[in-house]
Amino acid sequence: MKKILAVTACPTGIAHTYMAAEALAQAAAQKNVEIKIETRGAVGVENPLTPEDIAGAHAIIIAAETDVEEARFVGQAIFKVAIAEAIKDPGKVIDAAVNLEPAKTNDINQAAKNKEERKSQITGPYKHLMTGVSYMLPLVIAGGLIIAVSFVFGIEAFKEQGTLAEALMTIGSGSAFALMVPILAGFIAFSIAEKPGLAPGMIGGMLAAKIGAGFLGGIIAGFLAGYVVQFMKENIKLPKNFAGLVPILIIPFIGSAIVGLLMIYVIGTPVKAIMDGLSAWLANLGVANAALLGLVLGAMMAFDMGGPVNKAAYTFAIGLLGTGFYGPIAAVMAAGMTPPLGLWLATLLAPKKFLSEEREAGKAAGVLGLSFITEGAIPFAAADPFRVIPSIMVGSAVTGALSMVLGATLRAPHGGIFVLLIPNAVGNLGMYVLSLLVGTVVTAVILSIVKKNKATV
């Protein structure tokens, strides 16, 4: 029996990571293939692959959108696949891995060639950005929820010195949110240049925050630091006795100086102007522009249900949350909850349009929707993409547009329906709930119309 290893990781580490792992495990069991799966989710690395596992594996499946320490797999046969593909068609992924020719791990030249081939395949701006976002998210979520809890005592209670509300605001806003941009930039650089990129990336991110360049400046600083450090790693050659100075002295010193000076004298001012312009536009949104922004963000959240487009909308809203704009994140979270909730409602309104197992899956989708896990809609979209995806996009677009137009705001960036229980965490709570309900109903009604009968009840 051939032994297959797999690593699954998505930017948020909440749903896709574990859905892909479960799908691969089930497919492997059906095909009588031995598999061990390492998940790299929000709680950290679980079921880690040991050096012994790697050495004895026929092939390794990497279904990931963030860094998974691929250097440990040099010389091994690797099959890379989008994490959504591992969820939708795990059997095909298992077959592809089983049919790979095993790499000759004792062939140094072949190992180096494999490494370069994989590097050319997997490096790219999206992967690096999502690595940064995945490390930033715990700070955003923790900080946002702590800030929301501080509002339990009143919206402006934190202004009173020595109070618990002030302490909570210091933790959430003064500390957690203050680390957002440096961590984002640092781990973008880490994804590009590994450990040597961390210091220049974080320093560049901190400067972006201080200058006022915000999350956009942090993203630029992270990429700049990563590529500067990668260039230095590849081109600075010292005698063997001094080679150890390169990663611990030369790269941190020169790399941080280059990135810092560029941020201060070249990049910071124009990026700050862009952020100031965006802030002014957001602060003076008319009804039409607010509706358009909410509509676009909502449709993006439903388009690929946790994929790159979904994450782009969420990342945009998270960045604005850090600069004090709470409307877009409200629209994004409500729009992300709408697809699975709409599908659940559709299974109740039109049970003949769904198989019995789909009706059961609808119940799980409803729970996931309440928890702001858009991925609950994936099984339905995979089974009938040309009807389901447009339907849920319309419903989410309606939710997003209504949320923005009705002035709903959100102080906590995750948590779904449970965040609504925190007093003052949601601005214009009644209209926010209405936006979610309307979008859910729109989704369900469209699905009830466009889907064909599948079952007799």
Q: What is the pLDDT of residues 226-262, one digit of tens each?
A: 999 999 988 888 777 777 778 788 889 999 999 999 9
Per residue in 326-380, pLDDT (tens digit) is 899 999 999 999 999 999 999 999 888 888 888 888 888 898 888 888 888 888 8
Q: Which of 5, 6, 10, 20 is catalytic?
A: 10
The 8-class DSSP code of residue 425 comes to S
- pLDDT (0 to 100) of residue 412: 78
Contact 413, 144 (CB under 8 A): yes
Q: Compute mean pLDDT per 10 residues along the chain, 457 residues long, and list them.
A: 87 81 92 91 83 89 84 86 87 90 54 45 72 85 83 80 90 89 93 90 94 89 94 83 78 94 94 87 81 93 83 85 84 93 93 85 88 84 87 95 92 80 83 95 94 68
Best CA proximity match to 452, nearest among 343, 370, 352, 372: 352
Helix, strand, coil percent content, the chain, rounded in steps of 5: 70, 5, 20
Question: Do the bridges between strand 409-410 and strand 426-427 make them parallel or antiparallel, or are there none, so unpaired?
Answer: antiparallel
- The answer to whether the Cα torsion of 299, 304, 306, 307 is positive or negative is negative
- pLDDT (0 to 100) of residue 158: 82
Cα dihedral 111, 112, 118, 119 in deg (nearest 10):
160
- Tokens linked to 50: 């040991």
- Burial of 137 from C-beta contacts in 10 A (0-12 / 13-18 / 19+): buried
- pLDDT (0 to 100) of residue 138: 84
**How many angstroms separate the CA atoms of 286 and 292, rounded?**
10
**How many angstroms separate the CA atoms of 59 and 34, rounded?**
11
- pLDDT (0 to 100) of residue 278: 82
Which domains are delineated in the chain?
Answer: 3-122 (3.40.50.2300), 125-268 (no CATH), 287-450 (no CATH)
26 is annotated as an active-site residue: no
Give every CB contact of residue 358 below 8 A, 6+ residues apart in sequence: 347, 379, 380, 383, 454
Phi-psi map region of 426: left, alpha, beta (phi>0 left; psi -120 to 50 alpha): beta
- pLDDT (0 to 100) of residue 103: 65
Contact 14, 41 (CB under 8 A): yes
